[in-house]
Structure 1
Amino acid sequence: MKRLSLLLTALLVSGGALADEVQVAVAANFTGPIQVIANLFERDTGHKLVASYGATGKFYAQINNGAPFEVLLSADDETPARMIKEGSAVAGSNFTYAIGKLLLWSANPKVVDSKGEILKKGGFKHLALANPKGAPYGAAGMQTMTKLGVVDAIKPLIVQGENISQTHQFISTGAAELGFVAYSQVIKNGQIGSGSGWIVPANLYDPIRQDAVILAKGKDKPAAVALLNYLKGDKAKAVIKSFGYELP
């Protein structure tokens, strides 16, 4: 019994020694899901996920300037591919963890109609949009307005957010009557939780394929590898789907 007890103690100590933390740059639209997943990940693996949230374009610049991130959960698939090509991310580690949906949303339940006709009718003073140069959901919003033929009329009314979180804040506080956000930011129990919204048809913008990738600083780090494997598992997929994303 004493030998068994010593063996169990040794296993526990070695397991604790293997537990690590991983620094993750997370696209702002994925804030809700990763907070849920982080708790499950720590409980199931012992590893701790330390997340920072922001625009993918800004993370790209920060990582190139030496930021200590080990994993990137991008809002697109182009940035991880580019980083692999440039040598700042690990080749073969990238994969699509979620496919995002674009939503035209207002905190006012009477503003946005079910077909998005307000974009053509007008009558609003401000429309919030994440910076299309660094935020894929902002770029998708611009593509939508361009395809609908309303971009020139709406451009002077745009209030630009640094990322999708700030864009959501502009709308929720009334600084802008409406704007383009990620569906995941407002979904509750499988539908738009408050205000009014139009889920933009997927044929109006390029697919928002969100890729994960291990960065150079996370190469050969067990916690980084464990996180990407966990994102491919059933528990993480269930969380991702519950926030309105499509799964690849």
Structure 2
Amino acid sequence: MRFSALRRALCVGLAATVLAGAARADEVRVVSSGGFAAAFKAVAPEFERQSGHKLVAEWGPSMGKTVNAVPQRLARNEPIDVVIMVGYALGDLAKAGQVVPESRVDLARSLIGAAVRQGAPRPDIATVKGLKAALLNAKSVVYSDSASGVYIEKELFKKLGIEAQMAGKARMVPADPVGEVVARGDAELGFQQISELKPVHGIDLLGPIPEEVQSVTVFSAGMVATSQHKDAAQSLLRFLASPTAAAAARESGMEPMAGK
């Protein structure tokens, strides 16, 4: 009798524990910049397995006026719990009170790379001289509407002394992956974060632009101030700073900042 009573008690306790765990499971809504998308997709199932929470992810630029851009989503009061985006843009949202400043986690450093359509001639961009020649020789050049593209348009062309030559053939691409534009043949040469170019089929990655004119972007994550699932959001942020997520970031072409 005692054994049966004890077994019943244990079963009741186990059921209560399972129900309590289920009650704590939340649906965590995430919006990530494309730069961190590959790494996030790789680790999301493991977070769900470990935590019991469900992730609902969407993608959008860290800045800009396109409908999917993170600032535009927050301005519309979309129900978002965590954002993953360019660090300085996240910092602006924190200053505006839209992201909790103390929740910020710096995840990885990302370099700008270049790509051509698969099978097309591959210009050597390993040196500043080679990069300049590739840009001048290309019939059309595209770059993203996020951090890398802003840098290319506002600073890189100026550093190379080719602003005037690029004005008629270089353009920013809003809300469309640069690699896909190049793969379709709509542009001869494309620039974006390497982590955004790597997953695209139909292109050849030329590598990063030279260190002397490189711009390093830090991708960061933070909890949205209006999140309705703050504990779950914090749990996700801790996971994104873990060695598991760091390995995925490295595999996607970024330099993880875990442990730094």
The TM-score, its normalising length taken from structure 1, stands at 0.88
Residues 194 and 177 (structure 1), Cα distance of their counterparts in 2 relative to 1, 3 Å cut? closer
1:171 to 176, 179, 182: 182
Give the Cα separation in 2 of the matches to 1:159 and 1:147. Answer: 17
Give the Cα separation in 2 of the matches to 1:193 and 1:186. Answer: 10
Residues 18 and 8 (structure 1), Cα distance of their counterparts in 2 relative to 1, 3 Å cut? same
- Following TM superposition, where does structure 1 have runs of at least 4 consecutive aligned residues deviating by more than 4 angstroms? none
Give the Cα separation in 1 of the matches to 2:214 and 2:208. Answer: 12
**What is the CA-CA distance between 1:27 and the residue it aligns to?**
0.3
* Percent identity of equivalent pairs: 23
Amino acid at match of 1:106: V
**What is the CA-CA distance between 1:19 and the residue it aligns to?**
0.8
Amino acid at match of 1:21: E
1:140 aligns with 2:146: no
**Is the contact between residue 41 and residue 227 of structure 1 (CA under 8 Å) also seen in structure 2?**
yes
Please tell me whether Structure 1 or Structure 2 has the larger radius of gyration of its CA atoms.
2
1:62 aligns with 2:82: no
1:125 aligns with 2:136: no
After alignment, is 203-212 or 167-176 more displaced? 203-212
2:100 to 90, 102, 107: 90
Give the Cα separation in 2 of the matches to 1:198 and 1:89. Answer: 34
1:10 to 13, 16, 28: 16
> Partner of 1:153 in structure 2?
165
Give me the CA root mean square deviation: 2.1
Residues 196 and 15 (structure 1), Cα distance of their counterparts in 2 relative to 1, 3 Å cut? closer
Amino acid at match of 1:124: A
> Partner of 1:104 in structure 2?
114
Give the Cα separation in 2 of the matches to 1:207 and 1:185. Answer: 14
Unaligned runs of 5+ in 1: none
Give the Cα separation in 1 of the matches to 2:139 and 2:110. Answer: 27
Unaligned runs of 5+ in 2: 1-6, 64-68
How many residue pairs get aligned? The number is 240
> Partner of 1:246 in structure 2?
255
Residues 206 and 196 (structure 1), Cα distance of their counterparts in 2 relative to 1, 3 Å cut? closer
Q: Secondary structure at the match of 1:152?
A: helix
Give the Cα separation in 1 of the matches to 2:202 and 2:188. Answer: 17
**What is the CA-CA distance between 1:194 and the residue it aligns to?**
5.0
**What is the CA-CA distance between 1:5 and the residue it aligns to?**
1.4
The TM-score, its normalising length taken from structure 2, stands at 0.84
2:219 to 210, 220, 223: 210
**Is the contact between residue 38 and residue 48 of structure 1 (CA under 8 Å) also seen in structure 2?**
no
**Is the contact between residue 143 and residue 191 of structure 2 (CA under 8 Å) also seen in structure 1?**
yes
Amino acid at match of 1:244: G
**Is the contact between residue 113 and residue 196 of structure 1 (CA under 8 Å) also seen in structure 2?**
no
